[in-house]
Structure 1
Amino acid sequence: MIDTVREFTEGLPPLLQWLGVALGGAIPFVESYFGSAIGVVAGLNPVVAVAAAVAGNVVSMLAFVLTADRIRQRRGVQDPATMTPKRQRVMRMLDRFGVPGVSLLGQTLLPSQISSAALVAAGARTRSVIGWQVVSIILWGVGFALLARAGVNLVGA
């Protein structure tokens, strides 16, 4: 999938490549980190690559979070005994690390869209989840753009 997004982005006219990166950033498991790297490898300025990937990831994450918030408001808070094992794991992570920890570290296990929606569904404050997810999305995007830039410099492209 990542190769497909990269090829799509490289195939766009140079002035529209940022759009390909933004669309890639909106895809779970591609997100800001791989989106930023794809943009850098495709030849975009790293700042433009990060901004586009972050924008796409944030818009996608917001859609998931706001949908989860609406569902939670309709259903109310769920009894932990009736939760699925995955949701119980999210709750344990939330209890252990809080919203900041799950937001910053959660992307190592799950896409930001899924982890943020799970946090909201589990009862975390929507504004807190959105704020920490945005911080996390930016940090991961910048980190992977720096790694991609170093790799491009190393290869000499």
Structure 2
Amino acid sequence: MISSVQEWALSLPWFLHWVGILALGAIPFVESYLGSVIGVLSGLSPFVAIPVAIGGNVVSMLAFVFGAHAVRGRVMAGREEAPLTPRKQKLKERFDRYGVAGVSLLGQMVLPSQITSALIVSFGASRNRVILWQVISIILWGVVCGILAVYGVNLFA
């Protein structure tokens, strides 16, 4: 999958190359970490590829957070919380144990930031706190993976 996405990015005209990386960064499971790697490996300067992939991921995550916050507000208006399914209960227990910061920083190893952030907000966490920690996490993962790509470390093969 990574090679086909990389080929797609390379097929774009040089002046639209960064737009392709921006779009890749917005896709769940590609995000800032793979978007920055694909951008670097496809020839973009790391000083362009990494921030552009991070930007795409942040914009996408914000859409999910604001959407989840709005839906939760409408659903919860005047109602009690419904019991959680076993799967959501397990996620809630992890959220309670690690908090917004821990789930944001470590959650990207399991789920995309968009899904993680929407789940955290649906559990009732502060929208602004979720956004802050998700942005920190997206930047951290994008920079680390982009730098590893610059130095030829291949963790995704």
CA distance in structure 2 between the partners assigned to 1:96 and 1:111 by the alignment: 20
CA distance in structure 1 between the partners assigned to 2:15 and 2:142 by the alignment: 21
Q: How does 1:142-153 map to 2 (within 5 A)?
A: 142-151=143-152
Q: Could you list the structure 1 runs, at least 4 aligned residues long, displaced by more than 3 angstroms after superposition.
A: none
Percentage of identical aligned residues: 55
Range with bigger deviation, 2-11 or 65-74? 2-11
CA distance in structure 2 between the partners assigned to 1:84 and 1:2 by the alignment: 34
Q: Would you say 1:96 and 2:104 are equivalent positions?
A: no
Find the counterpart in structure 2 of residue 109 from structure 1. Answer: 110
CA distance in structure 2 between the partners assigned to 1:143 and 1:63 by the alignment: 24
- The answer as to whether partners of 1:21 and 1:49 remain within 8 angstroms in 2 is yes
Q: How does 1:1-157 map to 2 (within 5 A)?
A: 1-76=1-76, 78-79=81-82, 82-151=83-152
- 5+ residue gaps, structure 2: none
Name the structure with the higher helix share.
1
- 5+ residue gaps, structure 1: 153-157
Deviation (angstroms), 1:86: 2.8
Deviation (angstroms), 1:73: 0.3
The code of the aligned residue for 2:131 comes to I
